[in-house]
Amino acid sequence: MPETPLALTRRARKTYRILRDRYPYAHCELDFRSPLQLLIATVLSAQSTDVGVNKVTPILFARYPTAEDLAGADPAEMEEILRPTGFYRAKTRSVIGLSQAIVERFGGEVPARLKDLVTLPGVGRKTANVVLGNAFGIPGLTVDTHFGRLVRRLGWTEETDPVVVEQVVGALFPRRDWTMLSHVLIFHGRRTCHARRPACGACPVTALCPSYGIGETDPEAAAKLLKYELAPGAKGVPAP
């Protein structure tokens, strides 16, 4: 018997509550001090890791602290700074072009509206929602690869188009939950529900997940797959 829309909403919200308890500290893992820094860091995170980006951005922003500085940067100099992130030539062009657009069209300030952000070169809805949710406190869903994988595994949607996924999943939750929901699912995807070998036996939402069993179900074996440690006797609380 197909799941009713009401049953799906209830299951999705219960799943979120459980995962939020496991990752109460979930947050944006890119370091930033301003909307501009987060926007640039998010652009740099493509084909790179947050850890890798966080090693480079302090150097980048110390050298180019404003949008005007970034817009007028010497490409060769910026390339050397961005080299560790990979695809550094293309990223240099993106950062300079994006910064020039911010200076020319928004007076050097990152706009706080989705419709404005997505007009900037290289900025799609995912990047825009990261900035809105974390730099401006405006709720948004960040539909990255982890988020998309998890909502499909959890049976919240079968859609693959990020825009449609954003609409469908957004309708299941109050708007105020969107940003934290994104963080929680991304944390779960990186730490437990991995792309290739999910740690099903160490997952707290197995009873609510139609995909249970696609990964390791033995609790001890699954626990070894976790990307963080659980405190002894605790449910989903990282060890100090």
- Give me the active site residues, please: 126, 144
Three-state SS for 162? helix
Contact by Cβ (8 Å): 87, 43: no
Contact by Cβ (8 Å): 141, 129: yes
Start-to-end C-alpha separation, the chain? 45
Q: Can you tell me which residue has the tokens 């911010």?
A: 102
Whole-number Å distance between alpha carbons of 129 and 136: 10
Token output for 87: 């695809």
Q: Which residues of 192-224 are buried (b: 16+ CB within 10 A; e: fewer)?
A: bbbeeebbbbbbbbeebbebbeebbbeeeebee
Whole-number Å distance between alpha carbons of 109 and 230: 42
Token output for 69: 């500085």
Whole-number Å distance between alpha carbons of 202 and 236: 9
